[in-house]
Amino acid sequence: MKSPLEVLQPLGRALMLPIAVLPVAALLLRLGQGDLLGAPALAAMSGGLSLTLASVFGAAGGAIFGNLGLIFAIGVAVGLARENHGAAGLAGVVAYLVATKGADALIAVPPEVAAKAVEGTRDLVVAAWKAKEIGKLSIPVGILSGLIAGTLYNRYSTIKLPEYLAFFGGRRFVPIAAGLAGVGLALVFGFGWGFLEAGVDGLSSLVVASGDVGLFIYGVLNRLLIVTGLHHILNNVVWFILGDFNGATGDLNRFAAGDPTAGAFMSGFFPVMMFGLPAACLAMLHTARPERRKAVGGMLTSLALTSFLTGVTEPIEFSFMFLAPLLYAVHAVLTGLSMVIMNLLDVKLGFGFSAGLFDYVLNFNKATRPLLLIPVGLAYAGVYYVVFRWVIIRFDLKTPGREPDEAITIAVKAAAGGRGEDFLTALGGAANLASVDACTTRLRLIVTGEGQVDEPRLKALGARGIVRPSERALQVVLGPIADQVAGEIRAAMGGASVARSATVPEPQPAVEAGDRVMAERLVAALGGSRNIETLGSCTSRLRVVVLDPLAIDEAALKTLGARGVARIGERTIHVVMGPQADALAEAIRLLPA
């Protein structure tokens, strides 16, 4: 049985995919506002062209924010599915649309809403009220739809149905099942809407009533949960659900919509990410051994600039998280205090991605008292520098530049090969990796034997930290290059053999003996496994790209039940097998390499 951590971690990773669209949404929406492209002076200079662009950008950004529920349904489903397959995304859309439209039909409209409508407009008023109400919980519905779709894909993407229903088997079954599950969601949200809305409103009121205490707890937990990856779930609650401003819910959405009270759950990150952690990098540089300062200076400068400009902090945090847990606890407390200080000063800042300079400048005119960030940030820089320098020296922490000579030797040796191959070697080879994926700053891996992972070698290759959430799960913190490195590792392994999923893989369904024999015979008739470059299926046929077309035995294929063999192009062949084509393709893929 999976632990709660193993269940929740894949969700935290999957949430990063839809969240990745927020920076472009925030940028487009911001450019379309009246103090940027919509500014009267700019409109006069451009002959009205800037107003046209402002309308386009504003509408484009609004379209993304207005459909976040659907985006989360797709993103979470794809993020959870084995191989990140698009069929799961389609299933997420189906579940979300069925759930929202079904709930729309069931939600009871208060009599006073219809009573306020002018004669002849009742239907429009009711429809508008329902759309606004559903919008309040569209993101939770989207996340649930994505969870259901991704789980259904992992469980039923290889399901076999009787031959007369074989067309609907395999991956095609997943959207069907998701639609039925969406009906269940519609019933829950439709009949239970009043209770759900009251619950969210009560939670919002509780958070508001908790004031500075609630902000402090949120700031501390946000940092402490980074090691597990569960901070994304916490962030989604406060950034996308709590509060309501003209239909926009969540601190981030309300800030983007112009709510002057929004930003309390974002402002406190700016002093830490733009000033505090870069100052910590400076402290690490100054405490490095003199002969190593030049070597680590570039890396620490890069980490500091990444944090200052973009608000991506995990590479810095993992450089000391395990070396000095107490120091990291102080960092978490300072983050909580920053949330409180900024709130007491009535500073309201917001972001579309994270608390870096880019978001600060972009949202400067929408913020409340944004210049107060400068003195608070400088004070935080001083505190972080003094605390980090003292702790590093006092406890002789092996931060970058203070490592033993052996680690430096390892790093020189590791740099000899290609990066993907080097990481693959450090991770125990291709046979030790069941799954390779990445989120914003981490490799997320499933290994067959954690004892085969060479941690010193990984750190020599640039790993800022290594986390073991469970017996087989492994996370390697690399910074923004994590996704690139994951791709290079997959390429070094042969790419297609690694499922791009951070979930603990479901056991592959066993291939029945008859299917295995049939699959082996088909492969032989196609010239052997070495002759098959790619294999797919569509409705009733196998689609195969081969290396040597002359190696194909058409007579043998027809003996095996092929109803037709068509050569499409020089190396592409279609083998018509009837409704069982999908099942046969899956059986071939499951054969040992």
Between CA 203 and CA 84 the distance in angstroms is 34
For 494-544, what is the HEC assignment?
CCCCCECCCCCCCCCCCCCHHHHHHHHHHHHHCCCHHHEEEEEEECCEEEE
Beta strand 532-538 with 572-576 is: unpaired
Residues 6+ apart with CB under 8 A from 87: 81, 153, 157, 171, 172, 174, 175
Task: Indicate the length of the chain as a whole number.
Answer: 593
Phi, psi of 385 (to 5 degrees): -60, -50
For residue 46, give the 3-state DSSP assignment: helix
Which tokens go with 458? Answer: 């990984």
DSSP track, 398-418: --TT---HHHHHHHHHHTTS-
Which tokens go with 260? Answer: 């002057």
Residue 585 forms beta bridges with which residues? none
Handedness of CA 378, 380, 386, 392 (dihedral sign): negative
For Cα atoms 559, 563, 564, give the angle at the middle one, nearest 5 degrees: 100
Handedness of CA 576, 579, 583, 587 (dihedral sign): negative
Residues 6+ apart with CB under 8 A from 213: none
- The label of the residue with tokens 């003195």 reads 375
Which tokens go with 434? Answer: 């069941």
Output the furthest CA–CA distance in the chain (Å, rounded).
Answer: 83
Residue 439 appears among annotated catalytic residues: yes
Which tokens go with 212? Answer: 């500075």
Which tokens go with 184? Answer: 């269940």
- Residue 348 DSSP class: B
Beta strand 532-538 with 564-568 is: unpaired
Between CA 422 and CA 476 the distance in angstroms is 14
Between CA 578 and CA 561 the distance in angstroms is 9
Amino acid at site 10: P
DSSP track, 549-574: GGG--HHHHHHTT-SEEEEETTTEEE
Residue 443: its H or E element: strand 442-447
Which tokens go with 121? Answer: 């407009």
Give 514: exposed, middle or buried? Use CB within 10 Å, 0-12, 13-18, 19+.
exposed
From 181, 439, 502, 518, the catalytic residue: 439
- Residue 117 DSSP class: S
Which tokens go with 326? Answer: 């107490």
- C-alpha distances in angstroms, 263 versus 187, 192, 500? 34, 30, 35
For residue 15, give the 3-state DSSP assignment: coil
What are the residue numbers of the active site? Answer: 439
